[in-house]
């Protein structure tokens, strides 16, 4: 079965200033992005940022990736969606195991609760290692990759496909954050972002050890828009490239970056 045409999305860190969110979402919709995403962290909820995006664009889909289920239960996620008045059919909710001791077992158990509490919402699972990729392919509405090279993403995608095949259905969409910076300081921005994650916790340390790539090289640091497009095109294993924008949290630099990395 042939794969659908690749899509492109734009992503930011949760807690982006409200005055930036609506103009950025409008610019992303105008530029042809299929969806706009926020992460989720202890300092800011991604769903709150999505609600601000929704004020600026009515048609673009909204995603959060990822919510750690050891911090927020399916019941809490459902309550936030209702509180914010978000349309479930417009949402992609990415979830992960967080600091759970047995992450694969935990995530296999959670999918039933997620389905019950989030009817009509598409739920994707954060996956890095092979067994988690297989589980995402078998049980979830998609897999969400993070901090991967194009080659590593291609291998991880095969595991998602294996999981889907074993479960007897088509492969769900594979998403992935690709950190992207454009301009004179692009390499420094990417290196700063990556250095934070490399030592965030054991899971990330193990992942970067498996990658075996030099520091500051996992993602896209581009001189200009043409360079960014060429480097993003290498991520052909992803069904949806989520361009994670590394720019100042102001309207002009964020919109400029979104336009530079927009789908052709």
Per-residue pLDDT of the chain (264 residues; tens, 9 = 90+): 678 999 999 999 999 999 999 999 999 999 999 999 999 999 999 999 999 999 999 999 999 999 999 999 999 999 999 999 999 999 999 999 999 999 999 999 999 999 999 999 999 999 999 999 999 999 999 999 999 999 999 999 999 999 999 999 999 999 999 999 999 999 999 999 999 999 888 889 999 999 999 999 999 999 999 999 999 999 999 999 999 999 999 999 999 999 999 998
Strand, coil or helix: 82: helix
Scan for tokens 């897999």, then name that residue. Answer: 143
Strand, coil or helix: 61: strand
pTM of the full structure: 0.97
Contact status, residue 49 vs residue 245, Cβ threshold 8 Å: no
Classified by CATH at the fold level, domain 7-260 comes out as TIM Barrel (3.20.20)
Burial class (CB in 10 A: 0-12, 13-18, 19+), 150: middle
Where are the domains positioned within the chain?
Answer: 7-260
Residues 6+ apart with CB under 8 A from 102: none
Task: For Cα atoms 40, 124, 193, give the angle at the middle one, nearest 5 degrees.
Answer: 40
Q: Which two tokens stand for residue 106?
A: 């935990």
């Amino acid at each position: 079965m042939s794969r659908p045409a690749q899509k492109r999305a734009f992503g930011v860190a949760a807690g982006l200033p409200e005055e930036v969110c609506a103009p950025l979402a409008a610019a992303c919709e105008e530029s042809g992005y299929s969806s706009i995403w926020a992460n989720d962290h202890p300092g800011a909820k991604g769903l709150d940022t999505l609600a601000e995006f929704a004020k600026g664009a009515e048609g673009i889909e909204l995603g959060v990736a990822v919510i750690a289920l050891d911090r927020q239960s399916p019941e809490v996620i459902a309550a936030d969606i209702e509180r914010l008045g978000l349309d479930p059919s417009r949402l992609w909710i990415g979830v992960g195991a967080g600091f759970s001791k047995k992450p694969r077992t935990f995530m296999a158990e959670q999918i039933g609760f997620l389905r019950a509490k989030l009817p009509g919402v598409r739920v994707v699972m954060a996956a890095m290692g092979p067994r988690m990729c297989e589980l995402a392919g078998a049980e979830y509405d998609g897999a969400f990759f993070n901090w991967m090279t194009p080659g590593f993403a291609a291998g991880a995608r095969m595991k998602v496909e294996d999981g889907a095949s074993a479960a007897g259905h088509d492969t769900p969409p594979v998403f992935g954050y690709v950190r992207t910076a454009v301009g004179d300081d692009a390499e420094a921005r990417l290196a700063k972002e990556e250095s934070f994650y490399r030592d965030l916790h054991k899971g990330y340390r193990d992942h970067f050890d498996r990658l075996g790539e030099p520091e500051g090289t996992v993602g896209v640091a581009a001189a200009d828009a043409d360079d960014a497009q060429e480097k993003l095109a290498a991520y052909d294993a992803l069904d949806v490239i989520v361009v994670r924008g590394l720019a100042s949290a102001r309207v002009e630099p964020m919109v400029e970056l979104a336009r530079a990395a927009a789908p052709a």
